[in-house]
Amino acid sequence: MPLTHQVHIEPFLQYLKYQKRYSRHTILSYQNDLDSFLQFILANYTPDSLAEIKPAFIRSWLALLRENKLSAKTINRKISALKSYFKYQLRQQAISVSPMATIVSPKNAKKLPQFVDQNDIRSLFAHVTFAEGFVGKTEELILKILYYTGIRKAELIQLKEHNIDGGNATIKVLGKGNKERIIPINSELLKDIQQYIHLKKDNLPAPGNDSLLLSIKGKMLDPKYVYNVVKKYLTLITSIQKKSPHILRHSFATHLTNNGAELNAVKELLGHSSLAATQIYTHNNIEKLKDIYKKAHPKA
């Protein structure tokens, strides 16, 4: 059967949609990658069927991607799409051997997470003026909780009043995979949270949910609103490129490790499933040591 988009890609996309239940965005990404691959194959080779696609053809395509300066991360995504595609074709008995079996994925370049300098964080909470009233207090508490606890944006939005344990000065967070973790909080943050809860009662009608943080209309916070709040205030105190809620999570973890916190403890606070995900913060510490060494050592 000749190579055509309709015959060979559409059934696979339907499989992703109805059996794997992938999102529309993911399916579109697969489609674009496969379209690009098959266009290359048909333009440069003359296979009459999928079974005639050789590993050498795929390596040529990958070499072209590298020549076009695509990142290792992007190339690996395309390789992953091809592996899924040919695995599906194996199950459909359209091929007997996958040409992806001998394809090696390039190593992703390790990207150090950006973070806000500790002095800039101090400036944020000591010198930046927040708006008066309920909205200003909500924005200030968003920033404080994100930085003082290192929780994710989604975890922040899902926080409930009953997750705050004032007696033990802790908060209970529901993380990825519905895994709960307990995070200690300092007395300053606990006081701010308790004052905010009283402020809600004075400024808002009885909300229909137990969410800790609410909008002026008494609704759960919108993720875009949280992002915009963080970006607005980080713009005032730092010049780093990224200014998202996740940057405050990176800052939390980096400042802990730079100040001597054990990596396993940071792992538990962040809710990472493995230590490997946390180890990236030790690289920031190493980079800092390298910088100090270069500046201070006479033979550096």
Residue 152 appears among annotated catalytic residues: yes
- Catalytic residue, from 249, 250, 255, 267: name it: 249
Which two three-digit tokens encode residue 281? 């913060």
- The dihedral region occupied by 210, where left means phi > 0, alpha psi between -120 and 50, and beta the remainder, is alpha
Give the DSSP H or E segment for 232: helix 223-237
Residue 246 appears among annotated catalytic residues: yes
Residue 283 appears among annotated catalytic residues: no
Q: First CA to last CA across the chain, in angstroms?
A: 64
Residue 176 appears among annotated catalytic residues: yes
Which two three-digit tokens encode residue 45? 């080779």
- Catalytic residue, from 59, 172, 181, 272: name it: 272
- Catalytic residue, from 5, 181, 246, 283: name it: 246
Number of helices (H), then strands (E), belonging to the chain: the values are 14, 3
- Catalytic residue, from 137, 144, 152, 267: name it: 152
Residue 233 appears among annotated catalytic residues: no
Instruction: Tell me if 57 sits within 8 A of 45, measured CB to CB.
Output: yes
Residue 281 appears among annotated catalytic residues: yes
Q: 253 φ, ψ to 5°?
A: -70, -40
Which two three-digit tokens encode residue 233? 């205030």
- Catalytic residue, from 111, 176, 179, 232: name it: 176
- Residues noted as catalytic: 152, 176, 246, 249, 272, 281
